[in-house]
Amino acid sequence: MMRDRHTGPFSREGYPHGHLSRYRQVLQILARHGFGWLLGQLGLRPPRPLRWLLGGRPREVERTTPQRLRLALEELGATYIKLGQILSTRSDILPDDYLAELSKLQDAVPPEPFEVIAAQITAELGSPPSELFAELNPVPLGSASIGQVHAARLTTGEDVVVKVQRPGVEAVVEEDLAILMDLARLAARRTVWGEIYDLPGLVEEFAHTLRGELDYVQEGRNADRFQHSFAGDPRIAVPHVFWRYTTRRVLVLERLHGVKIDDLQALAEAGIDKKALARNAAQVVLKMVLEDAFFHADPHPGNFLVLENGRIGLLDYGMVGQVDDATRDGLLYLLLAISNQDMDRIIDQLTALGVMGTSGQLERLRRDLAHLLSIYWGLPLKEIDVTRVLEESLDTARSHHLRVPTSLVLLAKTLAMNEGLARRLDPDFSTVDVLKPYVMELAWANYSPRHWRRRLLPTFADLSRLAVSLPRRSERLLTQLERGNISINVHVHDTDRVLGELNGMVNRLILGMIMSGFAVATALLMQVYFTTGLDWPVKWLLGIGMAIVIGLGSWLAFSILRRIRR
């Protein structure tokens, strides 16, 4: 647990001993890009050699704050680049200008020397690459901060890609995650925005996502799951995983040959129907979300290839999202409410999906959403941009400091990226034309007897067990009740803070009463002694008493004013 400076595991300057060197590096980079004020807001004291730098002006004053943030994250390395890429999907947290800038983050760094990659493959697979592969191109197809990809051919003749994790990157990521969690806990305690957005919870979610990307075995399982979901589907191709050559740090996949889905000129030369391709891409993503409840969470154009036969080849399975039945049903009803322009149901479904806030915040959200949807009132369903409405609804929730579940934001961003890709292929593409059949199919399925039978069978099983055990439990309960052994434990959340506030109020009230009584008594004694003549010891005692009264009164007034400012 993170503690204040000068206590616990922190050094005298306020940084954990285990990460002091990395902390200093992070501070230096943030300061160089003009974010020293953020550390001051967190109450952290920078190392002495950096204090002059943190207090100075940023070197690149001509850049905007979002641009400087992107540059700082790129310089900080793999963990922070991934953090920025994920934050670029969180329209409930950051404004549009930050989202646009963070979406430009490039996870491309100079490749590792081939000797290092060969040594990593040997350490993971137990044999040198020359014995495992008939060919292995030393020049990588792509190089990122976590790993790099090489083209290869197996001894059995299959063309594959070999994804190799950079040596030592896992230790660096874990150190950075520990630092981020420390800073998140500190921000949650010392800043209003840190408490509103539950930063420790966000860091936990980010850590779970990033550790998943570091585990190539999990990425291979994700690919296998997609392959099973789309088995026999002529619209999409999922590469085969060669498990014999796959470990936590090495992943070998079938190589798909094609052109990038946003290369419009290459698609035209290949004779690909772009309208059909846009529709297929949208249907594939909607099937993932609304049918399989397991979707590719990074559907940018670089992760889609178009093969010679027009099939879509899906790449990179490190970042995925899952939707439970309740969230999928809630999203369905939310889409129906948006299409019907039913404001109350929109608010109800956002709340059911986990958008949390006070009743006043939700009422302001309802008012702003009513203004937003008034743009679409009277329009036919085909002309309603459902994805835009969903994204703007989440933007409105952010403006009211409401907490939005990560799964919902990730889902909205996935749909928005998919729609953007489809409209690049077909400017006349309409999300509703593709979305409506899925929504109607799911709506009918939710009311079908088969659906209710599937849900009711576990309920009947629970009721049968309860019916068998209820008489025995009732007898025990009545026996304990007759003997007076029943006790009820009530736990009220956040009682310590409330009781602390009440205790402080009572203490100040008592102190004020004592101070008032002391002041009145001192004044009466002074009046009596002035009429009879004062001896010098009595003068000193009364003077000290009056000084104590003035001091207590000043302290009490100061503490009240300080709490009002808070």
The C-alpha atoms of residue 507 and residue 491 are separated, in whole angstroms, by: 25
Task: Supply the DSSP symbol for 241.
Answer: B
The C-alpha atoms of residue 315 and residue 415 are separated, in whole angstroms, by: 17
Task: Give residue 242's identity as a one-letter amino acid code.
Answer: F
Please state, in angstroms and as integers, the Cα–Cα distance from residue 162 to each residue in 142, 252, 273, following that order: 11, 5, 32
Q: What angle do CA 163, 165, 166 make, to 5 degrees?
A: 135
Q: Which residues of 456-468 are buried (b: 16+ CB within 10 A; e: fewer)?
A: eeeeeeeeeeeee
Per the annotation, the verdict on 4 as an active-site residue is no
Ramachandran class of 202: left when φ > 0, alpha when ψ lies in -120 to 50, beta otherwise: alpha
- Active-site residue, selected from the candidate residues 298, 329, 426, 462: 298
- The two tokens of residue 556 are 């009490």
- The two tokens of residue 68 are 């400087």
Spatial CA neighbour of 174 closest among 121, 147, 138, 210: 210
Strands 312-314 vs 236-237: parallel, antiparallel or unpaired = parallel
Are 2 and 186 in contact by the 8 Å Cβ rule? The answer is yes
**What phi and psi, each to the nearest 5 degrees, are found at residue 163?**
-100, 120
Please state, in angstroms and as integers, the Cα–Cα distance from residue 194 to each residue in 21, 77, 160, 398, 526, following that order: 25, 23, 45, 14, 54
Please state, in angstroms and as integers, the Cα–Cα distance from residue 193 to each residue in 43, 94, 102, 199, 513, following that order: 15, 12, 20, 9, 38
- The two tokens of residue 264 are 């419009």
Q: Which residues are catalytic?
A: 298
